């Protein structure tokens, strides 16, 4: 059957269409994304303004039409941190439902981490042993650890690349003092939860998902996306530590010229690198592997698992 997932994230609204049935690997058939950057559209009250809500409604309506055009039988829709943390979240959800008919499911941070973990577990399989999974989104950082498909520990921290860029790194070329203050903040936040994971012992394999980690791996020399899903891509902490000060000395347009860095994400890359470096350091990770599957695939897999026999 053909399934669709509509992911209203902090940076993008992403539609993924797959051909899938229970027990088989979901095969991507079509994908489209629109960059709304909801996490950066919050006003001083923490609300998504009328313009942002209007853009979201238009984007959801367009995604619905696209899903119909692509023959989607069942469309799974959800929103993450930018919507769930907006002070006017209920009003936003009500307007989307009223004007498009879509009732967005708002995932809490822990569930987001658990679904991402499920996707990574299915991708790497049981032979990967105990997994530590890291995911940097636009609004939050998700961390999960476990041996089975449901992690033993899962947390979400307000350390997304878009959120931190807007709050801590004003201007195109950040001040050194601002970068230093952000680094201190990030590490203090991550350090609070390290103990929840260390009591389970060292992981056998550390993996990361998300655009931020993929871009950091790419500028560190990992294979291009055009070389396919099955090429192993790694990010080494030593290389990342060298890139953080270099990124801090670049304006966004300079970062956009780096291999694999998109113009839309270039402004957030420094904040994402600070979070990635902090997480790898505090969890004692020297090298991690990039996982092609993430939250959207986790949502699909959980949906298939819960369907009656097909």
Q: Are 11 and 300 in contact (CB under 8 A)?
A: no
Mean pLDDT, contiguous 10-residue spans, the chain (310 residues) = 94 94 90 86 85 94 97 96 92 97 96 98 97 96 97 97 92 94 98 97 97 96 93 97 97 96 93 98 98 96 82
Q: What is the CATH number of the domain that holds 49?
A: 3.30.420.40
Q: Are 23 and 42 in contact (CB under 8 A)?
A: no
**Is residue 58 domain-resident?**
yes
> What stretches of 87-160 show up as alpha helix (H) in DSSP?
89-100, 109-124
Instruction: Count up the domains in the chain and report the number.
Output: 2
For 68, the domain range is: 2-106
84, 125: one domain: no
The pLDDT tens digits for 63-101 are: 999 999 999 999 999 999 989 989 999 999 999 999 999
pLDDT of residue 309: 60
Going by C-alpha positions, the residue among 120, 110, 103 that lies closest to residue 296 is 120
239, 270: one domain: yes
**Is residue 38 domain-resident?**
yes
Point out the domain boundary residue: 106, 130, 160.
106
**Is residue 306 domain-resident?**
no
Q: How far apart are CA 289 and CA 135, in angstroms?
A: 12
Query: Regarding beta strands 74-79 and 27-35, do their DSSP bridges make them parallel or antiparallel, or are they unpaired?
Result: unpaired
0.85 exceeded by the pTM?
A: yes
To which residue do tokens 């990124």 refer?
247
**Is residue 27 domain-resident?**
yes
pLDDT of residue 310: 47
What DSSP designation does 48 have? B
Point out the domain boundary residue: 66, 85, 106.
106
Point out the domain boundary residue: 106, 121, 137.
106
Q: What is the CATH number of the domain that holds 264?
A: 3.30.420.150
């Amino acid at each position: 059957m053909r399934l669709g997932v509509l992911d209203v994230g902090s940076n993008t609204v992403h539609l993924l269409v797959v051909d899938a049935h229970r027990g088989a690997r979901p095969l991507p058939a079509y994908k489209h994304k629109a960059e709304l950057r909801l996490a950066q559209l919050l006003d001083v009250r923490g609300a998504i303004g009328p313009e942002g809500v209007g853009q979201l409604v238009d984007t959801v309506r367009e995604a619905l039409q696209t899903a119909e055009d692509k023959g989607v039988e069942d469309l799974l829709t959800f929103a993450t941190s930018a919507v769930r943390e907006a002070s006017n979240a209920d009003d936003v959800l009500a307007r989307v439902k009223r004007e498009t008919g879509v009732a967005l499911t708002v995932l809490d941070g822990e569930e987001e981490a658990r679904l991402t973990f499920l996707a990574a577990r299915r991708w790497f399989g049981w032979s990967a042993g105990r997994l530590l999974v890291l995911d940097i989104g636009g609004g939050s950082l998700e961390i999960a650890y476990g041996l089975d498909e449901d992690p033993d520990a899962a947390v979400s921290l307000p350390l997304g690349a878009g959120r931190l860029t807007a709050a801590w790194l004003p201007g195109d070329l950040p001040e050194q003092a601002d970068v230093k203050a952000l680094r201190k903040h990030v590490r203090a936040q991550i350090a609070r939860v390290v103990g929840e994971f260390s009591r389970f012992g060292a992981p056998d394999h550390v993996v990361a998902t998300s655009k931020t980690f993929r871009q950091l791996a790419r500028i560190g020399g990992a294979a291009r996306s055009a070389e396919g899903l099955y090429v192993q891509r790694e990010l080494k902490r030593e290389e990342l530590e060298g890139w953080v000060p270099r990124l801090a000395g670049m304006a966004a347009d300079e970062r956009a010229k780096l291999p694999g860095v998109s113009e839309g994400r270039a402004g957030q890359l420094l904040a994402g690198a600070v979070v990635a470096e902090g997480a790898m350091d505090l969890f004692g990770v020297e090298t991690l592997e990039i996982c092609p599957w993430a939250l959207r695939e986790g949502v699909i897999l959980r949906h298939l698992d819960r369907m009656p026999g097909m």
